[in-house]
Structure 1
Amino acid sequence: MTELWEMAASDLAELVRGEEVSCREVIEAHLRRIEAVNPRVNAVTVTLAEDALETADAADAALRRGVPPGPLCGVPMTVKENIDVAGSATTLGIVPLRDAVAAEDAPHIAELRAAGAIPLGRTNMPEFGMRWHTDNALRGATRNPWSAGHTAGGSSGGDAVAVAAGMAPLGMGNDGAGSLRWPAQCCGVAALKPSLGRVAQAGAGGARRPTPFAFQLLGVHGPIARHVRDLRLAFRHMCGQPGGDPWYAPVPLEGPRMAAPIRVSVVARPGGAPVHPDVAGAVRAAAGILSDVGYLVEESEAPALERAAEIYTQIMSRFGRVHDEQPPVHELASEAFVRFWAVYEPIWTEAAGAPTFDPMMERATIARHWAEWMRRTPLILAPICTRPAFAVGADLDPAWLADWPASMRMSVAANLLGLPAVAVPIAERGGPPQAVQIIGPRFREDLCLAAAAAVEAAIPPLTPVDPR
């Protein structure tokens, strides 16, 4: 018999609507799963058990009174520690913010609650969200449930692990440089990076402080799940509140129907970068599946990709920090993060390339090139990272880290241009699984999700997985 913690969010919601199971039973099952496996992976940092059970009881009482349930009624979700959840600390993974309790939910968390979802726990992240491995001085390291010796990714690594290990069917993270998609690749789960302007941003700590320009432009909130259909379900209930965000755009969730066959550009070697055989194999497998189900698949090169990554880096470097208000990193972060940043900063600086007079002007030029490319082939299939999950500690080695910016070019290009992308897992290959990303035109998450669902349907389920 399938356990409740093994089930998809959409299936749990259906059981609750049919009164085949209570919201309390769903929450209790996931709390037991957290108790059983979280000590081995350290993904859930704070369990919101009391509030979650009270919310579940209130939902069950409303159901007994005949109140129609919300579309996510009773579905547990975890929330990354840089997203506001009322009554819980928004720590950003750093010790000085351990008591920074949010007064109210971030706009999309409030909307998900209104749809019936129940926050069950907070999840781990690297300090400031600025590392591709989840570890910090406040909570410690999160371990990959497939292999404790490999990274779970970052910065939404806690949510990816919680979802992969069955502690919740949904996780809420964000993505400013592949931070949803890279942990999805490492942990064998699905993730959606929405278009810029889809999901309202909010300041940290409940104060609604404006975020730095780079994060307004490059970062977005999005869901992690074990099933593409659950990404679609959650996404539909994350986009309705503007939250005072000037980038917010109330665009319909379904775009115009496209005539078949829809073309897919396969970018097998982004910018000519070396691609690990396991990653290349995953891209080939996904391309074959899409071709088999009726997409017109062809190999292509992404226009101006290297320059897109350079402009991304320049914007993040120049406009991603609050220099006048933020103490030096070594006063806030762990020794490991300080060591990582000392190694990575010169690599990051070199990755910025030739300085531009106006990065937004160059961004607009690159966006026009991509728009012209995607008019003919609206979908792009590509690696998330050209490397698989790395061994823990590898990102502290200057020689290993030197080529990291090139390995992430396709992911950061999607951030630069505000494009939606879905990460979909492919298969286990004797260790942590692989995944690919499907990128679409802005506000065409529907196209990305449909293609990802086609890939997923041809692959045996990988998760939930017991920690190894």
Structure 2
Amino acid sequence: MDVTELTATGIAAGVRGGRFTATAVVEAHLARIAEVNPRVNAVTVVLADKARETAAAVDARIAAGEEPGPLAGVPITVKENIDLTWSATTSGLTFAAGHVPQANATFVDRLLAAGAIPVGRGNMPDIGLRWDTDNDLFGRTRNPWNPARVPGGSSGGDAVAVATGMAAAGLGNDYGGSLRLPAHAAGITALRPSAGRVAAPGRGAEPLPLSIQHMAVNGPLARSVADLDLIFGLMHGADDHDPLSVSIPHPSGYDGPRRVAVTVDPAGWGEVDPAVIAAVRSAAGALAAAGWEVEEVEPPAVDRCATLWRQLSSTENAPMLLTPGVFPGPLSAGTVEYFRDNIAGVELLDTSAAYQSAWAERFVHAAAWRAFHARYPIVLGPVTTRPMPEIGFDLSGPAAATALWRAYRLLVTVNFLGLPAVAVPTGVSGRRPLGVQVIAGLHREHTALAAARDIEAAFAPITPIRPLTVA
């Protein structure tokens, strides 16, 4: 088997066991990038020289009988808004093309110490505030399954890179589904950790809106749940540069109650594609076959949680993005157009009383979900209730922006509550990946990963994608 088809776990085992060198692994992935990336534009910067240098150092450690690390030789991508001193941290912004950080994000350093090798940067929309991957600096990332449809966002570049074999894993972040949605679109897995489990994407301190402080997280994308578990186990933990980060043990398995609440139509809003319903119920069947007690029951207040996520995120970001002179440089026209259309459908929290009330209400819903998870440790539901939209749909007016938010209502509910969730594929319909997300209680990443692993075991792998459909 070509090493670009192996999982991160498989690559690390092969390098550590001497079946191939880290240098050979990196060269194979650089060749894959050269072959595939011109067709999908997922990797913005190819880190060839540094990757080769790092691979040689891994091989030298092994030759000297030293411990190379649990991720020895594993090629990864790093999203454009995560600090890596090997290239600029641009967040997809044209004016940030020269912003090379002085230090790596702490979790990047942890993975480097474990033997991981960054081979490229992953594309994203401007500052991550769009459910597509396009910007004026690097251009559009194309969906390798169907080039007429978006690859999701905002970690779309990393998802496509992993799905096409250009890297074994990627590092991204998730404020409104930005790990799980592109992973779903690409047919791979992703873990959105609980708020605070993985430290900030950089070491600088600057004022951040409360919604970003409590709802945005960093996490891994990969082609197997075992890889997510391995990588998260290495990258999580407190960082002295991030006052919101925490250190909590990450168990290697789950031996608690095995009960699952299944929702095929979160909040009962309808508009659920039949293939989505079938995917959720097939995943539920896989969990039942693996010994989980499965029941179709609605989790609490998805309608209010999704609504409050949209109100808070829009209220906090609107002044920054739409007030002349506030943002430090130009945004892509698509990002501005999407955000204007989005807030046109939102009742902004334009008084301090309304804003405070929204945050106070969050406590009520978090308590309800805590009690619900005590009964049902896993909530199983759709990533999105509709197929990935065609390119340009999100820029077709306020109604389209609202339609996307409605389709992603369970995604953003998870962000609103700061919960962990795993996106896991369940097969393919034509050239459309299908999948679900499993949601666990706060700091119960191991529970979500256990359920995702049982779902994954029931379905054949669908990535890396060969051949691509994109021309």
TM-score by length of 2: 0.94
Q: Which residue in 2 is equivalent to 1:418?
A: 418
1:222 to 2:223 alignment: no
Against the structure 1 CA distance between its residues 11 and 434, is the aligned structure 2 distance closer, same or farther, given a 3 Å change threshold? same
**Quick one: which of 314, 329, 336 aligns to 2:334?**
336
Against the structure 1 CA distance between its residues 359 and 402, is the aligned structure 2 distance closer, same or farther, given a 3 Å change threshold? closer
CA contact (8 A) 1:153 1:186 kept: yes
Q: Which residue in 1 is equivalent to 2:382?
A: 383
- Which amino acid is 1:279 matched to? V
Against the structure 1 CA distance between its residues 342 and 259, is the aligned structure 2 distance closer, same or farther, given a 3 Å change threshold? closer
TM-superposed deviation, 1:59: 1.2
Q: Which residue in 2 is equivalent to 1:434?
A: 434
Equivalence map 1:285-434=2 (5 Å): 285-320=282-317, 323=320, 327=325, 332-349=330-347, 355=354, 357-398=356-397, 399-434=399-434
1:443 to 2:443 alignment: yes
Q: Which residue in 2 is equivalent to 1:247?
A: 244
Against the structure 1 CA distance between its residues 349 and 169, is the aligned structure 2 distance closer, same or farther, given a 3 Å change threshold? farther
**For 2:254 and 2:279, how far apart are their aligned partners in 1?**
28
**For 2:281 and 2:334, how far apart are their aligned partners in 1?**
36
Q: Which residue in 2 is equivalent to 1:165?
A: 164
CA contact (8 A) 2:263 2:299 kept: yes
The secondary structure found in structure 1 opposite 2:438 is strand
Against the structure 1 CA distance between its residues 61 and 67, is the aligned structure 2 distance closer, same or farther, given a 3 Å change threshold? same
The secondary structure found in structure 2 opposite 1:323 is helix
Q: Which residue in 1 is equivalent to 2:179?
A: 180
**For 1:321 and 1:78, how far apart are their aligned partners in 2?**
30
- Which amino acid is 1:432 matched to? R
TM-superposed deviation, 1:356: 5.1
The secondary structure found in structure 2 opposite 1:426 is strand
**For 2:389 and 2:376, how far apart are their aligned partners in 1?**
32
**For 2:96 and 2:142, how far apart are their aligned partners in 1?**
23
**For 1:202 and 1:90, how far apart are their aligned partners in 2?**
10
Q: Which residue in 1 is equivalent to 2:118?
A: 119
The secondary structure found in structure 2 opposite 1:119 is strand
The secondary structure found in structure 2 opposite 1:191 is strand
TM-superposed deviation, 1:330: 11
TM-superposed deviation, 1:227: 0.7
The secondary structure found in structure 2 opposite 1:16 is helix
CA contact (8 A) 1:196 1:217 kept: yes
Using the TM superposition, name which of 394-403 and 435-444 deviates more. 394-403
Q: Which runs of 5+ in 2 are unaligned?
A: none
TM-superposed deviation, 1:329: 6.7
Equivalence map 1:65-80=2 (5 Å): 65-80=64-79
CA contact (8 A) 2:183 2:221 kept: yes
Structure 1 residues 281-306: Cα deviation after superposition (integer angstroms, max 9, x where no partner): 11111011111111000011121211
Equivalence map 1:33-182=2 (5 Å): 33-182=32-181
Structure 1 residues 360-414: Cα deviation after superposition (integer angstroms, max 9, x where no partner): 3211111111111111111000111111211111111224333222221211111
CA contact (8 A) 2:81 2:201 kept: no
TM-superposed deviation, 1:332: 1.2
**For 2:441 and 2:252, how far apart are their aligned partners in 1?**
10
**For 1:118 and 1:256, how far apart are their aligned partners in 2?**
27
- Which amino acid is 1:416 matched to? F
Using the TM superposition, name which of 307-316 and 62-71 deviates more. 307-316
**For 2:299 and 2:288, how far apart are their aligned partners in 1?**
20
- Which amino acid is 1:52 matched to? A
- Which amino acid is 2:262 matched to? V
Against the structure 1 CA distance between its residues 241 and 173, is the aligned structure 2 distance closer, same or farther, given a 3 Å change threshold? same
TM-score by length of 1: 0.94
The secondary structure found in structure 2 opposite 1:46 is strand
C-alpha root-mean-square deviation of aligned residues, in Å?
A: 2.2
CA contact (8 A) 1:87 1:104 kept: no
The secondary structure found in structure 2 opposite 1:391 is coil
Q: Which residue in 2 is equivalent to 1:7?
A: 6
> How many pairs were matched up?
464
The secondary structure found in structure 2 opposite 1:109 is helix
Structure 1 residues 420-455: Cα deviation after superposition (integer angstroms, max 9, x where no partner): 000001111012201100000111111111111111
Using the TM superposition, name which of 326-335 and 298-307 deviates more. 326-335
- Which amino acid is 2:334 matched to? A
TM-superposed deviation, 1:98: 0.8
The secondary structure found in structure 1 opposite 2:31 is helix
- Which amino acid is 1:187 matched to? A
- Which amino acid is 1:341 matched to? F
The secondary structure found in structure 2 opposite 1:428 is strand
TM-superposed deviation, 1:255: 8.5
TM-superposed deviation, 1:320: 4.2
- Which amino acid is 2:159 matched to? A
Structure 1 residues 34-81: Cα deviation after superposition (integer angstroms, max 9, x where no partner): 000000000000001100100111111111111112000111100110
Using the TM superposition, name which of 207-216 and 412-421 deviates more. 207-216
Q: Which runs of 5+ in 1 are unaligned?
A: none
- Which amino acid is 1:467 matched to? L
Against the structure 1 CA distance between its residues 334 and 375, is the aligned structure 2 distance closer, same or farther, given a 3 Å change threshold? same
**For 1:257 and 1:150, how far apart are their aligned partners in 2?**
37
- Which amino acid is 1:358 matched to? S
**Quick one: which of 229, 234, 247 aligns to 1:232?**
229
TM-superposed deviation, 1:259: 4.3
**For 2:130 and 2:346, how far apart are their aligned partners in 1?**
12
Using the TM superposition, name which of 66-75 and 330-339 deviates more. 330-339
**For 2:357 and 2:52, how far apart are their aligned partners in 1?**
52
CA contact (8 A) 2:47 2:86 kept: no
- Which amino acid is 1:85 matched to? L
